[in-house]
Amino acid sequence: MADREVDLFVIGGGSGGVRAARIAAGYGARVLVAEEYRVGGTCVIRGCVPKKLLVYASHVHHEIEDAAGYGWSIPQATFDWPTLIANKDKEITRLESIYTANLDKAGVQIVKARAVFQDQHTLSLSNGETVRAKHVLIAVGAAPNHGAAIPGIEHVISSNEVFHLDTLPKRILIQGGGYIALEFACIFAGLGSDVTVVYRGENILRGFDDDVRAHVRKEMEASGIKILTGCTVARVDKQGHEYSSRLSNGTSVVSEQVMFAIGRNPNVAGLGLEKAGVALNPQNGGIAVDAFSRTSVPHIYAVGDVTHRLNLTPVAIREGHAFADTVFGNKPTCVDHADVSTAVFTQPEVGTVGLTEEQARSQFARVDIYKADFKPMKATLSGRNTRMLMKLIVDGESDRVLGCHIVGDDAGEIIQAVGIAVKMKATKADFDATMALHPTAAEELVTMRTPSAQHVRGVAAE
């Protein structure tokens, strides 16, 4: 006989699991959440939130530089890494306590333990207890993946360890070309480190619009970040307090730290999924689910990064909420994964929603491109050599705005609002009819009148 019986057992106390637990409890369900580490999950504890705090810290360097052009004389500033990390840790602890308190207020029980399936309804906990659940939600997220083992892989850190370094490295090599790699490259560069990025592809930010990829790379390189594409780290040798990374192109890079950010794998190992009969998706390695986040076992569900669908915190939260509405609220709800806004907190920042130019041209017979590349107003006095990019992708037949891509200050803040318009299927005429807010960078979105390019299937008219 099980030690506890519940209506819903949630494996994982991250954003998706916490939201699902709270909503399900609100519908009257008896809910138990098992979290083996810290409540809050990747985003709160070792992801989006602490990373954004470090991004803010790295911006200060540029603000001090820009101040001179606006008449400010600022004495030589110094930076203390341990102070930043200690303050970051305090904030994460505060947020974790809020997550825990919100679960308590909702009547959700929490157990600090690892859960493993024994059968389709029974799970054993690392504290020795067993739980029998009517429904189970798997929300255990994903973990950094170092890829194929190479000599010296034990010297490499991931985005988990980077938040707990004792000192700021003078030189760091980062392998990867996506969100995490580039954001940390800009963080460390902004804090004064010498940064080298190594990426196997031909250009960074695979999957993003090609103009965005080119623009971000140019800006990062202009800021002093060295980006090496078309190669990988083949081995890492420790040499005293330094590491020598041998690259596949035959060159070597010496640094105090080596970080890999080349992807994340769903946390499916060691859960006992085979005992429960839960199937994996052979295409992405995540737990296979249907539109309602239901697995191959009718009463077992999965949300968030462990499904490897769209690995973003707000998506996991929406999936968790929809699950609870469907199963406990008698309101069947599917999550629409189309036109989800996202940001990359590089310097400059990236904000994007909808289709890239390449995607649009493959799906629509006629595509109009509107693009503005300009020096932002702030840079006119600061003297900073930077440019901003704004791009609209438009269906040339229906006039609907299919995508928007922004690179520059506050791109993430801007794209959140633009995402509403794209989701509502706004047209270019709707954008044109919107009065500009001057002087702002965002006004370019409603003042671009002439296409920079028009593409007809099989023909391109610039």
Of 373, 338, 334, the residue nearest 353 (C-alpha): 338
Q: Is 87 in contact with 49 (CB distance < 8 Å)?
A: no
Cα four-point dihedral sign 443, 211, 185, 189: negative
In the structure encoding, which two tokens stand for residue 233, read together? 């780290």
Helix (H/G/I), strand (E/B), else coil: 45: helix
Alpha-carbon distance 216 to 407, whole Å? 7
- Amino acid letter for position 111: V
Which residue among the candidates 241, 337, 438, 455 is catalytic per the annotation?
438
- Distances from the Cα of 66 to the Cα of 25, 59, 72, 378, 380, angstroms: 51, 11, 9, 9, 10
> Residue 199 CA to chain centroid, in angstroms?
18
The Cα 135–Cα 129 span in angstroms is 18
Of all helices (H) and strands (E), which one includes residue 53? helix 48-67
Strand residue runs (E) in 66-158: 109-111, 115-117, 122-125, 130-138, 142-144
Our answer to whether residue 438 is catalytic in this structure is yes
Backbone angles phi, psi at 328, to 5 degrees: -115, -15
Catalytic residues: 438
